[in-house]
Amino acid sequence: MAVTESTPLDQIVGSWLTLPDVAERLGLDVGKVRRLLQEGRLAAVRRGDPRVLSVPEAFLVPSHLANPSAPSREATGPDAPEWTVLAALQGTFTLLSDAGFDDEEAVAWLFTHDDLLGATPIEALRTGHKTAVRRQAQALL
């Protein structure tokens, strides 16, 4: 799925974070954020002028919502990080990669409304509907 001029990423994604912003939000250094990208736990797209590697803000959630289908109260202690990466993203990125999607296409797919889900895939993931989203991603193979 190519990102078309009728659906530019900035319009469908909304809020973006640069890698230093992601690092600050997660309490990590930028090198560790780059590792999250390499491991497929996050995806980033070059955007803007100059073109800066950016991550959709919706990929990050409060720590107690890392797995929205089973919210954790344990992640709210004084030493717990305030923010984390949405846990369901990694497997979803793997399926999309297997279907031939690059990071830009994967981001576009995650932020495009899906009639069967009744929401965008990222909204469905953030509300705990990982299985339904993965079913949709697997249908792309």
Report the percentage of the chain scoring pLDDT > 90: 78
Is residue 9, in this structure, part of any structural domain at all? Answer: no
Kindly state the helix (H) or strand (E) to which residue 18 belongs, with its residue range: strand 16-18
User: Is 5 within a domain?
Assistant: no
**How many Å is the maximal CA-CA distance in the chain?**
45
Per-residue pLDDT tens over the stretch 71-129: 665 555 566 679 999 999 999 999 999 999 999 999 999 999 999 999 999 999 999 99
Containing domain of residue 22, as a range?
A: 15-138
Do 74 and 84 touch, CB atoms closer than 8 A?
no
Asked if residues 30 and 23 have their Cβ atoms less than 8 Å apart, the reply is yes
Is residue 83 in a domain? yes
- The strand ranges marked E within 32-108 are 45-47, 52-56, 60-62, 83-85
What is the total count of domains within the chain?
1
* Cα(114)–Cα(125) distance, integer angstroms: 12
Q: Is residue 125 situated within a structural domain? A: yes
Instruction: Using pLDDT thresholds of 50, 70 and 90, give the confidence band for residue 3.
Output: very low
